[in-house]
Structure 1
Amino acid sequence: MPSDLAQPGPRPPLGDSQRIVVKLGTQVVTHDGRSLALGRLMSLVEEMARLRLEGRQILLVSSGAVALGMKQLGLAERPRSLGLRQACAAVGQGHLVALYTSAFAQFGVTAAQVLLTESDLGDRDRALCVRTTLMRLLELRAVPVLNENDSVSIRELVEHRRAQGEETGAPAFGDNDGLSARVAIGVDADLLVLLTDVDGLYTADPRTDHAARRIDVLDAETPRLGGVSAGGTGGMASKLEAARLASRAGVTTVVASGAAPGVLRRLLSGDTVGTCIPPAERRAVRRQRIALAPQSGALVVNDGAVAALEGGRASLLPIGVLAVEGEFREGDVVEIRDGSGRVRGRGLVNYDARACRALLGRHSEEIEDVLGWRGYDALVTRDNLVLGS
């Protein structure tokens, strides 16, 4: 990376971030990719738990399952074969989630395991189900703990075939950096924090180049970095790629050291910790799509719903809907209209047209009785709503 890298101005304020995705790399979870870094982990868990208790929403993406599995199986070196790595992941994942469950419980916070594969976020319907699950967990004040389901993941096979020039048609996270970025985008996070074994992105690898300097604020479209960390599958290049993906969707990313005391609290307090990659656009891609996409139908709402939507952070509840127009699927864009037909906004609908009609005028507590299942309490949640015609 050139040393005269242009930086895009001052850091954006992070203190108001309410929904935060934190990714812990293998070098943060373990010592040298092997033994568990228990003291460091407990400090980070305490920080995240206290942020959760203050009212912020925290999602944790954690590496380390393969390394913990290696320890339990008595393996001194990282396996080279895919099958053995997946076996290590299967052993280690149970130990990893047990650690987080116990650690968060000490602060009165519930942890919830969520394992994902490439197809879970690559398929539209499954991605909506993942989002629904995560949002529900956040509403219940839990901390979702996510990891790629390495024991059944086809990522490495996909990457190998792509390297051979084959068209696979299958999406791949690449590593937990990519997974954390996709999760941040999927839940409309305010902030993505990638914690690693170095204190930010550098102009060169600081372990081999003494002239390397830490970059405080970085443009997301900067060319790939050369420094690579050992132990996990990710490195500085993958973190930049994850930051680029998040930035394009309107999510601020910070790359920082997981060993720095109070790193999360310091970030939110405005300290210049790590490297900040501001969003490329002020408006998230999700909201751009909602505002510009063709609508598939409409929800006609009463005056009380209009006042609630335009007056604060309210979601559109079934009790405020008078009529449903058109046919649409869960996740489609629908218009929000008042009784006179005026368009007041548009949003991503949480239920299909048939379910919306069944829920007209109902209280949210009745959703499961009416449909036999319950996803969201709202037909359109506030973070998927754009007001104005």
Structure 2
Amino acid sequence: MTDAADLTARLIRCPSVTPEEGGALVLLEDMLRAAGFEVHRVDRGDTANLFARWGAKGARSIGFNGHTDVVPPGDLGSWTHPPFSGHVEDGTIWGRGATDMKSGVAAFVAAAIDFVTQTPPDGAVILTITGDEEGPSKDGTIAILDWMTEQDERMDVCIVGEPSNPSEMGEMMKIGRRGSATFRIKARGVQGHAAYPHRAKNPLHALTLYLNDLIAAPLDDGTDHFDPSGLQITSIDCGNPASNVIPETATAVVNIRFNDLHSGDSLTADLTRRACDISDQTGVALTVQADISGEAFLTQPGPFVDLVRDVVAGQTGRRPELSTSGGTSDARFVKDHCPVVEFGLVGRFMHQVDERVPVAQVGQLKDIYQRILERYFV
């Protein structure tokens, strides 16, 4: 039997702060190859990635996706135990990545190894593990999926092992995610003396009109599986140290978390149209720069969603809520490849000082993943 908790502790001892590999993928590569997996390193740029498949290429398959990179630990003196010690005490594993998400990776790696060893399936089990989820996310799961396309590798369905439960195992699984877009708006007017506003064009006045227009009404009322989209103004700045000078330029940053009523393109078009209207009204030039980090998506409830949900209910006694809440994850890339859901541990301590996870919870997650594998290949 492969001990998922012990593997979690060993992975935590690999200091894999993005983009450093830290030995985590080397450890997993050796374990998976020894268990009969065909393993490939799919490194791109400064990012280390791993693809592993047990079973025939092209066979019916189920995949798991996760990451071994972690966020920086912060002030080392604030930790009860060193962040890369993998310290185990009183049934708890301590360290950076204990929750997000070396435990999830350890659970599905351990489940996959024991499953193919004990009951070899008529099909394939595929593991995709990246070192770039906490960073730019440009050369991680995207690179693996690009490589899979080139190599004609395919997952039929996939589970992302990100923490998905708010406080108790079995509360929630993710069947989609909101999209995320950041817009940088620049207003360019004419600088002048505050006492002679007729000789200037105040970009802050135009920008204020624009931002008020954005927040005057909700973007939507939500859908069956999504909450209403949310728009937040996160920055306004003109870099002006003088109180008696009308500045020439001003900028604002707006972040939108959007549901499946919108796309990055539709929001960009809408914000650009509004900017043109304000420019025409004020004579101040407004430009909009968009950065779309992920589109909204939904895996429709059906046999695969039901299978995962039923297994979680059977193992935890809780039938998980089907949710699209939270931020983004690499599921936003996997959804372009195959149907994807997310189920993992309780996320209470992720990214915190003294990040930690109960040993029993890691073992329970491994059992859930192994039972999903057994049910999938029935």
TM-score of the two chains, using structure 1 as the length reference: 0.24
Which protein is bigger by CA-based radius of gyration?
A: 2
Higher relative contact order (Cα pairs below 8 Å, separated by 6+ residues): 2
Q: TM-score, normalised by structure 2?
A: 0.24
Flag the structure with higher strand content: 2
Which structure's residues are more often helix, by fraction?
1
